[in-house]
Amino acid sequence: MPYFKMPAYFKKPDYRDWPEEQQLRWCDNQIQLIDAALEAEDYLTALHFCDVALERIGYWPRYSFYIKLLYIYKSRACRCLGRDAEAAVWYKRAKIEYDRENRGE
């Protein structure tokens, strides 16, 4: 069985090495995409963008504002899809992040 190396363009990029301005620009763009999807009532796309953003922002621990916003957007998309229990969980996570930030943790 021959062994083939995976081409470089198939490898997942390492987002931890991005400079801060690129991280902030990417976060802002992602929020705009999610907002546009919610305005267009395309809730599954909004959920997908939220998942992608939460996965990537997990590498960048300082962006709690974006995490709270993504939790709220994800809660809104779930509620619009009729997933009320899941929406409540995401809203509760946003509230926990908000309380944590206000306590200064």
Residue 59: inside a domain: yes
Residue 83: inside a domain: yes
What domain count does the chain have?
1
What's the CATH number where 60 sits?
1.25.40
Residue 80: inside a domain: yes
Residue 4: inside a domain: no
Q: Which structural domain, as residue segments, surrounds residue 53? A: 20-103
Give the model confidence (pLDDT) of 11-38 as tens digits.
666 677 778 888 889 889 999 999 999 9
17-23's contacts with Cβ under 8 Å and 24+ in sequence apart are: 23/60, 23/63
Residue 34: inside a domain: yes
C-beta of residue 87 within 8 angstroms of C-beta of residue 76: yes
Residues of the chain short of pLDDT 50, as ranges, are 1
Residue 2: inside a domain: no
CA distance 7 to 21: 28
pTM (2 decimals)? 0.77
Residue 94: inside a domain: yes
Residue 74: inside a domain: yes
